[in-house]
Chain A
Amino acid sequence: MPSSALIYTLAGIWIAVIGLRGVLAEEHVFRKIVASNIFGSGVFLVLVALARRAPDGPPDPVPHGMILTGIVVAVSATALMLALLGHLHDTDPDDREDSP
């Protein structure tokens, strides 16, 4: 019986791979942005799973701090990218399908 931490770690890796594939393979910028968020969620899930070091001890707070910072960075980066994409869409409507 695999431990729950292992299951979460593998699931996180799986989600991260899906996200990374999206960032690399998707044509449309909006899809790339969504994919980058999926990638981020996968990474955070791996880190959360790893923070649980002992099966029944309390989890390690340091990775949690790292994840929180990572989420803040990812959210603001996403907001910035969406704003830029919206700006491009407004100013240059012919070009909206073009990836940068």
Chain B
Amino acid sequence: MIASPWLLTLPVILPLAFGVLTLLFPSDWLARTGRHGAMLCAAAVVPCTRWVWQAGPLHQSPGGWTAPLGIDLYLDGMACLFLIFTAVMGLGISFYAAAYYPPSPDGTRTRNDLFWPLWFVTWGGIQSLFLSQDLFNIYVTLELISVSGVGLILIAGTPGAVRAALQYQMQALIAGLVYLLGVGLVYNAVGTLDLQLMSDQLQPGLMKNTGMALMTAGLLIKAALFPLHFWLPKAHADATAPVSAVLSGLVVTVAFVMLTRIWFAGLHQLAPFLLPKLLGILGSAGIVWGGVLALRQHRLKRVLAYSTVSQVGYLFLVFALTFHDAPGQGLVWTGAVYLTISHGLVKGAAFMAAGYLQKAEGTDQLAALKGCARRHPVAVMVLAVASINLMGLPPSTGFIGKWMMLKASFHTQQWGLAVVMLGGGLLSAAYLFRVFEQLLQPSGPPSGPSRGGEAVTPLTRSQSIWMLTPAMLLALATLLPVLYITLPDALLRIGAPLPFSDFIRPGGTP
């Protein structure tokens, strides 16, 4: 079987092409172009999945320039799973955004219209990042994603959003430079940027160890691991809802996935001895700190943003749990991948529902949302489904991921991490119940529906449907893992970086 030379290039080129098109098209075409573009971009992932499923991992060199000189694209099971995840998120976000941003009355371009080019460029950047196998290409795509993220935050147009965007760009620049310095040091010692090519010359050395630590530090800022999360809550809460869904659902995920990609490609041998332990401690601190701050917020989107800080903490426990001599590495890795994907899906859905409530009620102040479960039952239902996942209750994917990691913490006898994981679940229950206490009040506040001081334009019926259906589907997708749990598992095994004898099936024995 011969792969079409376009197989791995299309998922990158298509979103970028739509980014250019939506920049040129008149305002009243955008919603439709956005929806159709999203469907095409998502469809580009189908042949990739077919290929991986039938023929295994695939290397391609765009333009015929091979690895030492050119930049290879690499598709394995994990990359494919994340491409599918991005496609699903992308579809949901695009349909939601098409309904969220109202068409301008006279057909002139407004600031809202900039959502589409920026979003498609972000999408292309994310897809190309998941296909990257080259340390420097990772840098370039991360910067691409960050810069378009800044633009996306600015769509909100408020002074708060401008300040959040400024801080976002500052952290992105510093994080990128720290990462770049690390890449430079590793390159200087190894002589290549390709992850595959360098895997056979990874004897530790001062230069390589420092480089690895710097690369990790740069990605930690981008992934918002405590205490480097300072930029996240403002940016995610002050942006418009579709943008919050992009940032919290997709963009935060990306830095973490690339970090695992680099570590599991063998570079963990270069990590200074205490680094995995340190990441475990920071992850634990993030779980607790994010949860405690989420408890103290008065706005729904702020609660969700701090919940992201807390959930990112969970992901980083994977480093403490995996790079350990005990068996069960594959289990943690699979668990972390499930957790990443389920968090992305439900956080996207939750921000969509929060954006719906904000639009319908004119505010996302918790006190003003009192009793809105009566008025907007579906949106509150989406938040409820998302909450089940964030708390890690069965039968959600969040539960499966956390359970796998919990099991691994017993295996490796890291009891402290187990306590933090269980306590973090309780903490999420606490901050989410606080939200639902308000939403489920039998009666609302006395005044009419313009409580936040903003004028509320009532949502049309079709607008509500198009906003809530994608949110509901994304949220429900994480509740039905019984139906498809074997699929991602089988996909992850294709070209997996870990020896499979180490893998423990859920519920099985080593």
Pair B147/A76 contact, Cβ less than 8 Å: yes
Cα–Cα, bound, A33→B167 (Å): 10
A51, A53, A73, A74: residue with the most chain B Cβ atoms closer than 10 Å = A73
| Nearest CB in chain A: distance from B217 CB, A | 11
Pair A66/B184 contact, Cβ less than 8 Å: yes
Pair A70/B177 contact, Cβ less than 8 Å: yes
| Nearest CB in chain A: distance from B190 CB, A | 11
Pair A36/B159 contact, Cβ less than 8 Å: no
Cα–Cα, bound, A70→B142 (Å): 12
Cα–Cα, bound, A50→B185 (Å): 8
**In A1-31, which residues have CB < 8 Å from any B CB?**
16, 20, 23, 29
Verify if B427 is at the interface (C-beta below 8 Å from A): no
| Nearest CB in chain B: distance from A9 CB, A | 10
Pair B184/A100 contact, Cβ less than 8 Å: no
**In A50-99, which residues have CB < 8 Å from any B CB?**
50-51, 53, 62-63, 66, 69-70, 73-74, 76-78, 80-81, 84-85, 87-88, 91-92, 95
Pair A88/B163 contact, Cβ less than 8 Å: yes
A50, A84, A92: residue with the most chain B Cβ atoms closer than 10 Å = A84
Cα–Cα, bound, A84→B235 (Å): 14
Verify if B246 is at the interface (C-beta below 8 Å from A): no
- Chain B interface, number of residues (Cβ within 8 angstroms): 31
Verify if B187 is at the interface (C-beta below 8 Å from A): yes
Verify if B345 is at the interface (C-beta below 8 Å from A): no
| Nearest CB in chain A: distance from B209 CB, A | 15
**In B119-163, which residues have CB < 8 Å from any A CB?**
136, 139-140, 143, 147, 150, 154, 159, 162-163
Verify if B280 is at the interface (C-beta below 8 Å from A): no
Inter-chain contacts of B173 with A (CB < 8 A):
36, 40, 73-74, 77-78, 81
Inter-chain contacts of A84 with B (CB < 8 A):
154, 162, 165-166, 169
A32's partner among B170, B183, B187 (CB-CB below 8 A) is: B170
Verify if B164 is at the interface (C-beta below 8 Å from A): yes
Pair B184/A47 contact, Cβ less than 8 Å: yes
**In B165-211, which residues have CB < 8 Å from any A CB?**
165-167, 169-170, 172-174, 176-178, 180-181, 183-185, 187-188, 193
| Nearest CB in chain B: distance from A18 CB, A | 14
Cα–Cα, bound, A43→B162 (Å): 28
Inter-chain contacts of A43 with B (CB < 8 A):
177-178, 180-181, 184
Pair A80/B169 contact, Cβ less than 8 Å: yes
Inter-chain contacts of A62 with B (CB < 8 A):
187, 193
| Total CB contacts across the A-B interface at under 8 A | 85
| Nearest CB in chain B: distance from A40 CB, A | 5
- Which residue of chain B has its CB nearest to the CB of A85? B166
Pair B166/A69 contact, Cβ less than 8 Å: no
Pair B176/A80 contact, Cβ less than 8 Å: no
Cα–Cα, bound, A63→B150 (Å): 27
Q: A81-B166, A92-B159 are in contact. Are A40 and B177 (CB under 8 A)?
A: yes
A73's partner among B143, B163, B185 (CB-CB below 8 A) is: B143
Cα–Cα, bound, A77→B169 (Å): 7
Inter-chain contacts of A20 with B (CB < 8 A):
174
| Nearest CB in chain A: distance from B401 CB, A | 34
Inter-chain contacts of B174 with A (CB < 8 A):
20, 23, 36, 39
Cα–Cα, bound, A62→B186 (Å): 13
Cα–Cα, bound, A46→B154 (Å): 34
Cα–Cα, bound, A76→B193 (Å): 24
Pair A91/B166 contact, Cβ less than 8 Å: no
Q: A36-B173, A73-B176, A77-B173 are in contact. Are A47 and B181 (CB under 8 A)?
A: yes
Contact with A along B462-474 (1 / 0, CB 8 A): 0000000000000
- Which residue of chain A has its CB nearest to the CB of B185? A50
Inter-chain contacts of A36 with B (CB < 8 A):
170, 173-174
Pair A91/B159 contact, Cβ less than 8 Å: yes
Pair B162/A81 contact, Cβ less than 8 Å: no
- Which residue of chain B has its CB nearest to the CB of A24? B174
Pair B159/A39 contact, Cβ less than 8 Å: no
Cα–Cα, bound, A94→B402 (Å): 47
Pair B150/A80 contact, Cβ less than 8 Å: yes
Cα–Cα, bound, A51→B188 (Å): 7
Pair B180/A70 contact, Cβ less than 8 Å: yes
Pair A66/B159 contact, Cβ less than 8 Å: no
Pair A77/B172 contact, Cβ less than 8 Å: yes
Contact with A along B207-237 (1 / 0, CB 8 A): 0000000000000000000000000001000
18 contacts between A and B (CB under 8 A): A20-B174, A39-B177, A47-B180, A47-B184, A50-B185, A50-B188, A63-B184, A66-B139, A66-B184, A66-B187, A69-B139, A80-B150, A81-B170, A81-B173, A84-B166, A84-B169, A91-B159, A100-B234
Interface residues of B (CB under 8 A from A): 136, 139-140, 143, 147, 150, 154, 159, 162-167, 169-170, 172-174, 176-178, 180-181, 183-185, 187-188, 193, 234
